[in-house]
Structure 1
Amino acid sequence: MSSILISRAHGLEAIELTAPDGARATLLLHGAHLVSWVPAGGEEQLYLSPTSPFATGQAIRGGVPVIFPQFNTRGPLQKHGFARNKPWQLVSAESGKDDALAVLRLTDDGASRMVWPHAFEAEISVRITGRTLEMELACENRGDTPFSFAAALHTYLRLKSSLSASLQGLSGLAYWDSVENRAHTQHEDLLRLDGSELDRIYMSVKDELMLRDTDRRLRVSQQGFSDVVVWNPGEEKGAAFSDMPADGYRQMLCVEAAQVLHPVELAPGESWAAMQVLELQ
């Protein structure tokens, strides 16, 4: 194993992971935000808005934002919580004989305790090898009182063509439609984009999903997360975003491993961990 030094990307401190087989990834210390993943022999798999700001304390549009300890506006905190806007500490970054791995950590501080009065330690581990990306999010209750939280890996997948893209493996799943604000059940196996806003929380997802996009096949699976959020802002809402081009919605689909509808509850000293795995076929 050889250590990897901190470099810079988009003007911010970053870890540049490179596996011996050529797989690459870029992980910012700001928000523990993964902004690039290029599998061995492949192309960029993540969407990153070219108009997103890269500034301390600001959220980044694209890549994989870490959502913690609140999802969206489901609670009293800022949208999607504070973890994606805070600096994380580097625990380790190494390149091995067949992979590369980085671990970042976030702990409570005075600012976080003002809005969320709990002692915690969160870690994210990012591992690349071949055509596979593994992201594990973990949290430990370091205090003396229980707490609950929501979490998600808000993965923006790059699309070559939203008109031909589909997500397979959702048939039979119940979901909460955040646009219509009501519950549904998915009857079709394929979910296609039509330019309208899509915002769904699929429940009790146990099987892997497959993103099909022209000739590309990207397998999406998870362990420990019970929900999958599928989101695309659509034409109207996408055009209103200041941090994304008007046609940006055509180039991305969020498929997020999440724990939203049943938040995690941790007693003092308890830990939780969950993972999302992306594999280019």
Structure 2
Amino acid sequence: MGHSATAWDQNSVLEVVKDWNGIDQVVLRVPRGASARVSLHGGQVVSWKNERGEELLFTSSKAIFKPPKAMRGGIPICFPQFGNCGSLEQHGFARNKMWSIDYDPPPLRNDDGKEKVSVDLLLKPSEDDLKCWPHCYEFRLRVSLAMNGVLTMISRVRNINGKPFSFSFAYHTYLSVSDISEVRIEGLETLDYLDNLCQRKRFTEQGDAVTFESEVDRIYLGSPNVIAVLDHEKKRTFLIKKKGLPDVVVWNPWEKKSKSIADLGDEEYKQMLCVDGAVVERPITLKPGEEWTGRLDISSIPSTHFI
């Protein structure tokens, strides 16, 4: 089914509502109180709350909630291009397109079988899309919320074209933090990274954690499948688990760049941090009939529980 729940009354945990532009949003809820909201515009997760109703994703106070522009915040899907690494618009077109609910998705292999509520979305190219990126594909996205509040996103891109094509990808995740200067990322130490502030020159991370004192815009390469974002003031840790996503993009615009971003408040860089599971350095190439899968699991736990 295009949306499903395990072990609960589906009507109580999944709801389709209209946003202020009349666009469908799917609301996922679990009995303990956690929730997530997914917009059909861009297939974008626009909200993820824990069981206490606390918003875990950042959304700019100046975000533009009107298609075709993607909302500044949540988790936009970057496909088939990340950033400006290609001929397409910034971060590709998937985040600006209308998706549909996928009522008959093919089964997921290696599904963990845990209790969760899910929605499946589908994106296919329009005739206009084929003019700027002439490749036929099916992009299936499953967004799930587990009983314990873990948010899972599984993307499947299939080549239904007669020739190979390549793409880059990212879950452009805007995390809500208390104060960026009090946040650290663990799991990226000793890794090589490409620094977008230095024409993508390659460096090696020297610190025992990634911390923030100025603008950061990096692509960490060959990253582990689990990293942690520690927010000391909120005593909260985001655990990010990923599969099929070898790179991690870390971005905070800091003060100067924030003032040049129209849909971001001048001081809001202090409350946000982007940590993206991504495929950037070595794009995925799919032959006809092949499929790629990229999975992201995000959980929020008290920092005292993190070892």
TM-score, length-normalised on structure 1? 0.95
Once the two structures are aligned, what percentage of the paired residues are identical?
35
Aligned to 2:109: none
Decide which of 216, 228, 244 is 1:210's aligned counterpart.
228
Q: Which amino acid aligns with 2:129?
A: S
Greater strand share, structure number: 1
State the alpha-carbon separation in 2 of the partners of residues 50 and 42 from structure 1: 19
Report matched runs for 1:50-129 at 5 Å.
50-92=61-103, 98-129=115-146
Shift, 1:236, TM fit = 0.2
For the residue of structure 2 that corresponds to 1:58, the secondary structure is coil
Shift, 1:5, TM fit = 4.2
1:154 is the counterpart of 2:165: no
Aligned to 2:205: 186
Contact 1:138 1:271 in 2 (8 A): yes
Number of equivalenced pairs: 278
1:36 is the counterpart of 2:55: no
State the alpha-carbon separation in 1 of the partners of residues 299 and 236 from structure 2: 11
For the residue of structure 2 that corresponds to 1:60, the secondary structure is coil
Shift, 1:97, TM fit = 9.6
Q: Which amino acid aligns with 1:128?
A: L
Shift, 1:21, TM fit = 2.1
Q: Which amino acid aligns with 2:89?
A: Q
What runs of 5+ residues in structure 2 fail to find an aligned partner?
105-112, 302-307
Shift, 1:271, TM fit = 0.3
Aligned alpha-carbon RMSD (Å)? 1.7
Aligned to 1:137: 155
Aligned to 1:14: 25
State the alpha-carbon separation in 2 of the partners of residues 9 and 185 from structure 1: 44
For the residue of structure 2 that corresponds to 1:163, the secondary structure is helix
State the alpha-carbon separation in 1 of the partners of residues 19 and 230 from structure 2: 30
Q: Which amino acid aligns with 1:91?
A: D
TM-score, length-normalised on structure 2? 0.87
What runs of 5+ residues in structure 1 fail to find an aligned partner?
none
* Per-residue deviation, residues 173-221 of structure 1 (Å, max 9, x unmatched): 1000010121100121211111x22100000112411111121111112
Q: Which amino acid aligns with 2:24?
A: E
Q: Which amino acid aligns with 2:18?
A: R
* Per-residue deviation, residues 149-177 of structure 1 (Å, max 9, x unmatched): 00110000001111211111111110000
1:47 is the counterpart of 2:65: no
Contact 1:20 1:97 in 2 (8 A): no
Change over 3 Å in CA distance of 1:192–1:42 after alignment to 2: farther
Contact 1:170 1:188 in 2 (8 A): no
Decide which of 195, 198, 201 is 2:216's aligned counterpart.
198
1:243 is the counterpart of 2:263: yes
Contact 2:141 2:154 in 1 (8 A): yes
Contact 1:21 1:98 in 2 (8 A): no
